[in-house]
Chains A and B, each alone.
Chain A
C-alpha cells in the first residue's frame, strides 16, 4: 500500500480523534468525544463497505457506486479489473470461435475421442463423411456408429502403422482414417475422403496393365521374325550386325514388358499373400544353377544355408524377388569378384541376403533404388541390361509378405541386399 493511501486512511482517524478530544474537553469527557467521532467514522466506513459489497454481489460493473475516499479507489480498481477480464474473455472467446470455425471448415474430417473412444467433438466434414449427427452423437462411442469390423480392430490396436483405408459401400465412398493419440489418452481421429484418389490410382494401374499386355503381342511377332532372320546366313554381314542388335533390344523390351506386367499384378492387391511353405535351401541352389547356366564368365557364387526353416509365401513371387537380387549382383560385380547368398534365422525373423564385391552404390542413391526405372548411372546401367524394374518388384513382393528390404553399400567395395521376413512367416 502506498504512503498516500496510509495518509488518507489514518488522517481522518487522527483528525477525528483530535476533534473529539477537543469537543469533549469542555464537558471534561475528552475520551467520550473521541469515541463518538470515531464511531461515526466507523459507521461511514461500514456504510461505504456495505454499498460496495452490495454492488459486487449484483455483478453489474457499469452501475458502480461512488463512495469516495479510499473506498472510491477500491471501487475504481475493481471496475478496472472487471473491464480487463471482460476484454480478455471476449478476446479468448473470439479466438476460440475462430478456431472452431476454421476446424469446422477444414476439408478433412476431425473427431476428438476420449480414452473410452467416446466422441467429444467433431467437425462438419467428419459428420458428413461418417454420418454423425449434431450434438446427439457427442458422448456416443465412436464404434457404435462407425461399425466396420476393420475399424473396430484398428481402434483397439495399440500401435497403428498408418491410416486405415475404409470402403463405405453404401455411399460408394472410400475413406482414409487415421487415429493419433494425444494428451492423456485422448484420440484424434482424422478422416479423409480418398474416393477420387483411389479411382485415379485404379485407372493408372489398369492403364499400365493394359498397355503392357497390348505391347506384348506385337513384340512377340517382332522377336519371332528377328530370331529367324538372324539365323539366316545368306545376309550381308553389316545387316546381320544390325539384326543382332535389334534382337538384343527386342529381348530387352520383352523383359521390361513382362516385368511391368508382374509389377502391375503385384500392385493389384495390397493384401498379404498366404502362400505355401518354401524350401529356401532348394530355392537358393536353383538360383545358383540358373546363374551358372548364363553365358559368359561371371563372379563366383557361394551359398550358406544356416537354417532349415521354411518360408511361408508365394513361391513364384519369392523366386522372382530373389532372382532379381542375384541378377543385380551378377550385373554389377566384375567376373573376378565374389557373391555370397545366405539364409539364416534369428529371434527377429528370417533373413536372406545377397552380398557382392561389386561397384557399390553411393549413399545418396540408396533411398531411390526401388523406384521404377531409377538408374544410378544411366549410360553404364543400361549397357548392363535389365529392365530397371527389378528392385521395384523385389520391394512389392516383400511388402506383400510383410517383409522389408535392407540395403547396405560402400562405393567401390560392394553391396549387401537383405530381405527380412517376420517370424510368423517361418515354419
Chain B
C-alpha cells in the first residue's frame, strides 16, 4: 500500500517537473519572440535606443538556456526518464539551443538597427524586410505553438514555410545587389541590410529545427536532413502502425 502510494507520489512529482520544464521552455520562446519583434521594430522605426536595448537583453535568453539545461540534467540524473519522457528531455535540450541561437540573431539585428538608425532610411522603409520579418515571426510563433500543443501537423506545415522564407531571402539578396550597382553610395546600408536578412533567414532555419524536435518528441522519428515529403509519409505509416497497435 505504502509503496504504491510512494510511486504514485513520485510519478506525480516527476510529471510536475516535466511540465515545469515545458512551461519554462515556452517562456524562453516568448522572450525570444519578444526580442525578435522589438529588434525588427527598432530597425523599421529607426529607434537606436530600442536596438541597443534588444542587444543588451540577450543575456536574459542565455541565462534561461543555462537554467533550463541544468534542470534537464538534474531530471536525467535523478529520474532516469525513459521512452517519451526521455525524448521530451532530449528534444528540450536541443530546442533551447536553437532558441538561444535565435536570441543571438536577434541581438545582431538589434545592433545593426542601432547602427542603421543614424543612416538615412530608404524610401520604401524596409518594406521587404518588414515582410520577411513578419513571415519569420509567424514561423517562430507557429513552431512554439506546435511545441505547446505537441501538434505534429502544425509542425510539418510550419517547417514547410521555411522554403518560402529562403526564396524571399534570395530575392532580397538580388534586390540588394541591384541597389548596390545602381547607387554605390547605398552599399554601406545594403550590406547592413544583407546582414539582417541573413539573420532572419537563419532564424527561419532554427524555427524549422524546432518543428523537427516536435515531430521527434511525439513520434520518436529523427527527421533532420530528411526531405519533408518522406517525413510525411513516414509519419503517416507510423501513425497507422500505432493505431493498429492500439486496436
Taking Cβ atoms with an 8 Å cutoff, the residues of A that contact B are 131, 133, 136-137, 140-141, 143-145, 147-149, 151-152, 167, 169-170
Contacts and interface: CB of A to CB of B under 8 A. Distances in A.
A145 B29 CA distance: 10
B199 to A, nearest CB: 17
B40 A144 contact: no
Nearest to B25: A144
Contacts of B157: none
Contact of A147 (B22, B27, B40): B27
B137 A140 contact: no
A149 B145 CA distance: 15
Contacts of B187: none
A169 B41 CA distance: 9
B58 to A, nearest CB: 14
Interface residues of B, number: 23
Nearest to B38: A169
Contacts of A152: 27, 30
A289 to B, nearest CB: 36
Contacts of B149: 133, 136-137, 140
Contacts of A151: 30
B27 A145 contact: no
23 contacts: A136-B149, A137-B149, A140-B148, A143-B23, A143-B26, A143-B27, A143-B30, A144-B22, A144-B23, A147-B26, A147-B27, A147-B33, A148-B33, A148-B34, A149-B30, A149-B34, A151-B30, A152-B30, A167-B37, A169-B38, A170-B37, A170-B137, A170-B138
Nearest to B136: A170
Interface in B126-165: 134, 137-138, 141, 144-145, 148-149, 151
B31 interface: yes
Interface of B: 19, 22-23, 26-27, 29-31, 33-34, 37-38, 40-41, 134, 137-138, 141, 144-145, 148-149, 151
B30 A170 contact: no
Given A169-B41, A170-B137, A141 B30 contact: no
Given A131-B145, A141-B19, A141-B23, 17 more contacts: A131-B141, A137-B149, A143-B23, A143-B30, A144-B22, A144-B26, A145-B145, A145-B148, A147-B26, A148-B30, A149-B31, A149-B34, A152-B27, A169-B37, A169-B40, A169-B41, A170-B138
A145 B23 CA distance: 10
B29 A147 contact: yes
B151 A149 contact: no
A131 B149 CA distance: 12
Nearest to A168: B37
A140 B34 CA distance: 21
Contacts of B30: 143, 147-149, 151-152
A144 B149 CA distance: 9
A136 B138 CA distance: 20
